[in-house]
Structure 1
Amino acid sequence: MIIKRKVNKEVYMYSIGIDIGTTNCKLCVFELLSLKLIDSYSFATPKINSKYGYDFDIEALYSQLEQGLIQTINSLSYAEKVKNIVIASVGESGVLINQEGEVVGPCITWYDTRTQKNLADINQKFSDEELYSITGIPIHSNYSLTKILWIRENCNINLQQVKWLCIAEYIAYKLTNQKRAECSLASRTLAYDLKNHCWSEKIQSAFAINHLFADFTQSGKNIEVLTSTISTKLNCNQPIFVAIGGHDHMCGSIAAELKPGEILNSTGTTEGLLLLLEKVNFNKSFLTSQLSFGKYVKDDLYTLYASLPSAGYSIEWFKRTFSVTDENFDLLIESLLNKLDDINYIKNSLNIFIPHLRGSGPPKRNIDSKGLWYGLGENSTLADILLSIFQGLCFELKNTLITIEQLTVTHHPIIKVIGAAAKNPLWLQLKADILGREILSCNIKEAVCKGGVMLAGYENHYLDKNAHIQFDNPIARYIPNPKMTEYYHQIFADYYQPFFEFKTSLEFKLKKDN
């Protein structure tokens, strides 16, 4: 027995993945080489509702994360076998830090709308086409550059004396005292030269931010060991390295073993469609459809990414608005699952919901877009409303998928799904029926954290790149019901698309009039 424990102590290593999300922050310990989830710690992402809008409470966030690290590492049987910590986060949001390492100004959430007025500042210096040809992303108030300009304007900050770090990069800085940038996050700033893999000199000069951005590190590559201060707090005698995994959806795709030619539906507070590409197409048609290119976290690949901002958030909204507990929500899901093939029920409960609760995504991206609901009646039940929310999310996804496949001249008969939807059989079957595609549910426990750990494992030679990973849960396949797919195709053409176009034109007119 003593010998066995000695062997385990020598063989087992641990890697810790951190996922800074919009709604929750997660810290997960995985065993190397098995990638088995050993322990986890999570907390609600702290936010501040200021007079200007919504900010991440970055100091409270780091404080809770540090407490999570202390608690988690101290609970491990072999804490001295923790090899590294790898961090992934939402894109777009970040902080300015001064020469003393202090945060100056707010950490504006990616979805906050206050920065819309800064779009005019950008368009004075660059046309949409010119900026897209450099960065691969359309001008939008979500991206980091608009937040930087807003903070400079409203907080009286000299940008020559500070550094910008995206959230994952800031957490890495707090742990190592090293300022580093990572490419998948950089390509969401609106200041990254996607063709030349560097910060754009032209954009930096135009806005006098030449010294603002940090030097790059390879995604997942260990940067430095924990500072002595952090190590003391963790009661660690051995060195623990820190790496930046990158954008959360991109890290999640690693866990799903996404390959070029495949398409990933990553779900959470937002919902995205992700493709991996060997080269970028800067054709104007991609800009017109508001599709974003970016740098992938490995293999010198690029990403084509479309984000729908109100996916999981629509479900949160439903629970909050109608005071639905988690237990009652699960009961509603179970009751609806039994009705998905009942064409009469589906027809009689028809509602059209366009889920623009936080604006819209491609192909008609508009941060001011509002939701639309048609079909509510005096006999509408909670189950009817919930069904229409899931149907609306699937119709919205279909609209974006059609756009992507038309522009890339591809067809994806199978769609991989990770995140919240991968645990929801109702949502998965509706995806299959409405999209008319086979849905492959990769129900991976903490996919973002796991993907980050895998990425860091490959980059630092803890893991074999050629080894096939084992999923914690069996992969489930959802096959479309031809009868329901035909019905939903008709509903999409006769109801969803006309309502979508009407709403889009009306909002465009309202914006023009104002």
Structure 2
Amino acid sequence: MKRSNLLIGIDVGTTAVKTGLLDQSGQIRGFVSRPCRTMRREGGIVEQNADDWLQPIEDAFSQFSDEMKNVAAIGMCSQVNTHIFVGKDGNPLAPAILWQDVRADEEARELDAAVSHEQRIAWWGAPMPIDASHVLSRMLWMSRHRPDIWQDTAWVMLPKDYCAFKLTGQLATDGLSNIGLVDQQLRPIPDVLKLVPGAADRLVPVREVLSVIGEIRAGPAAGIALANGTMDGWTGLLGCGAATEGTTAYLSGTSEILGITSQSVEPTPGIIVFPPCQNIRIHAGPTQSGGAAKLWYGQLTGQSPQEMATAAAASDFGKPAPIFIPHLQGERAPIWKSHTRGVFLGLDHTTSAADMARSVYEGVAFSVRLLLQALQHSSGISSGPIHCGGGGFQSDVWNQIRADILGRELRRVAVTDTGVLGAAGIAACAVGLHPSLSAAFEQIVRFDAAYQPNSSLKSRYDALFDIYVNAIDANEALNRAFLDVAKLSIDAN
């Protein structure tokens, strides 16, 4: 059956599964978002039920049923590093281990210590770490702590790959989503997989990002091609315009993700350099907590996101707010320390509720500035506007704070969920509607707002940023000591 040029993009995110119906120019024709329930337990355990991701997708397909005859292809991206241990029957053996989960910290440090700097450069082209969210760390943890599950595991899947398997019956993953397991040609590295016995046997077959892995088997979308796609970070960065060389892109969701597109590479600790895909080479890093810090503070104080934004705007910007370190469950790029924890520094009797809200916004922006410095060193790119997207960019006051702290113009993408836009663009390329990713995203990425940095605040934010960095270092030993005490408390109970 001949189909027209509508597309569906799916983003299996941490807080919600979002599905958009788009035309080939990137205009949203329909949008469905359903929240995801996250379970948190002592010991740094963060989980979701994998099957909870499927119903929102099916609901969206039903809502778009009248337009399905006009849909050319479906694309999907998802959160990483989130892992599902799946049995031979294709069903999960345990809840999905989310990227925020740090239960495998000990295993990660053991694996990381076993890999030399020279091996990292030879394998990955950059000195990337093995942290608690790395699939090998999770595999080693499962083999030690739940050997029954490890024994019965047929595949360790990422969310998009699990959903695609359920929708099409086809097993497939992609190399970009498996960064840390693949080489510069996006092929699995045997010597890396050997670090954990049995890892290679449980890896889902790797296929190209732009390949069509199959057709939807049932329901309103039956017969429509599903593109393989890739991780939400890379996909969302494309949705911000990162397909163009020299672009700096910034995603704000549950975490903050930055990327710079550059063929030049200066190996830099803490930075992920993705292998080229269609001649697009992205240097990137995810923080651990962006929107998650805002959500935490809002829940703590009983404020909605809009109420928090209103409060922050009422703060007295004529004086510094307390410095907030947003390491609520460790930090990823660029420091990759799962034991670090959050801090409010500089509280006194004059600190207001408005100052505290502003402090959370500023702390997240400082974490992004630290990451941006490392990315600029890695990529050799340090100028130009920053293209911004994601739900975290809906607050004007927060956007202005970010522009002031980063010292760069921010340009906001018109589509709120750039992961949905990116997934749709990849799907369009997979079925030949565009000749390349660069051509596709040049056509569909548009901007609706810009924020210029306030030069009068530069010296203050420069000084506060220096204190922020020093505070992370100064709290290193205290964080470890606190976690040791917390562990004793858990054991006593």
TM-score, structure 2 as length reference: 0.88
Secondary structure in 1 matching 2:274: strand
CA separation in 2, counterparts of 1:120 and 1:355?
Answer: 22
**For residues 498 and 149 of structure 1, do their structure 2 counterparts lie closer, same or farther at Cα, with a shift above 3 Å needed?**
closer
Which residue number in structure 2 is paired with residue 147 of structure 1?
138
CA separation in 1, counterparts of 2:356 and 2:421?
Answer: 34
Residue 91 (structure 1) aligned to one of 58, 80, 89: 80
**For residues 463 and 319 of structure 1, do their structure 2 counterparts lie closer, same or farther at Cα, with a shift above 3 Å needed?**
same
Which residue number in structure 2 is paired with residue 256 of structure 1?
240
CA contact (8 A) 2:4 2:72 kept: no
Gaps of 5+ in 1: 1-8, 337-344
Which residue number in structure 1 is paired with residue 163 of structure 2?
171
Which residue number in structure 2 is paired with residue 101 of structure 1?
90
**For residues 485 and 360 of structure 1, do their structure 2 counterparts lie closer, same or farther at Cα, with a shift above 3 Å needed?**
same
CA contact (8 A) 1:16 1:27 kept: yes
Comparing 54-63 with 108-117, which one deviates more in the overlay?
54-63
CA separation in 1, counterparts of 2:195 and 2:454?
Answer: 54
Secondary structure in 1 matching 2:206: coil
Letter in 2 for 1:275: I
Asked if 1:499 is matched to 2:478, the reply is no
**For residues 90 and 132 of structure 1, do their structure 2 counterparts lie closer, same or farther at Cα, with a shift above 3 Å needed?**
farther
How far is 1:317 from its partner? 1.0
Comparing 33-42 with 153-162, which one deviates more in the overlay?
153-162
Cα shift readout 1:62-106 (whole Å, capped 9, x = no counterpart): 23432332x2232x3x32122222110011112232322222233
Letter in 1 for 2:405: I
Asked if 1:293 is matched to 2:273, the reply is yes
**For residues 17 and 363 of structure 1, do their structure 2 counterparts lie closer, same or farther at Cα, with a shift above 3 Å needed?**
closer
Letter in 2 for 1:455: I
How far is 1:159 from its partner? 5.4
Letter in 2 for 1:126: V
CA contact (8 A) 2:241 2:387 kept: no
CA contact (8 A) 2:308 2:357 kept: no
Which residue number in structure 1 is paired with residue 323 of structure 2?
352
Secondary structure in 2 matching 1:475: strand
CA contact (8 A) 1:128 1:138 kept: no
Residue 12 (structure 2) aligned to one of 2, 20, 23: 20
**For residues 29 and 141 of structure 1, do their structure 2 counterparts lie closer, same or farther at Cα, with a shift above 3 Å needed?**
same
How far is 1:196 from its partner? 4.1
Which residue number in structure 2 is paired with residue 5 of structure 1?
none
Cα shift readout 1:342-365 (whole Å, capped 9, x = no counterpart): xxx324353111111121233432
Which residue number in structure 1 is paired with residue 209 of structure 2?
219
Aligned ranges 1:38-437 → 2 under 5 Å = 38-49=29-40, 53-69=45-61, 71-74=62-65, 76=66, 78-123=67-112, 125-127=114-116, 130-131=119-120, 133-135=122-124, 136=126, 137-155=128-146, 156-158=148-150, 162-187=154-179, 190-192=180-182, 194-209=183-198, 210-227=200-217, 231=218, 233-234=219-220, 239-258=223-242, 259-278=244-263, 281=266, 283=267, 286-287=268-269, 290-295=270-275, 298-332=277-311, 335=314, 345-437=316-408
Comparing 175-184 with 197-206, which one deviates more in the overlay?
197-206
CA separation in 1, counterparts of 2:396 and 2:167?
Answer: 39
Cα shift readout 1:385-420 (whole Å, capped 9, x = no counterpart): 111111112222222222332344432242111113
Which residue number in structure 1 is paired with residue 491 of structure 2?
none
Q: Which has the larger radius of gyration?
A: 1
Letter in 2 for 1:477: A
CA contact (8 A) 2:107 2:132 kept: yes
How far is 1:226 from its partner? 1.4
**For residues 327 and 358 of structure 1, do their structure 2 counterparts lie closer, same or farther at Cα, with a shift above 3 Å needed?**
same
CA contact (8 A) 1:277 1:302 kept: yes
CA separation in 1, counterparts of 2:413 and 2:295?
Answer: 22
Letter in 2 for 1:67: D
How far is 1:471 from its partner? 5.0
Over aligned residue pairs, what C-alpha RMSD do you find?
A: 2.8
Letter in 1 for 2:337: N
**For residues 396 and 126 of structure 1, do their structure 2 counterparts lie closer, same or farther at Cα, with a shift above 3 Å needed?**
closer
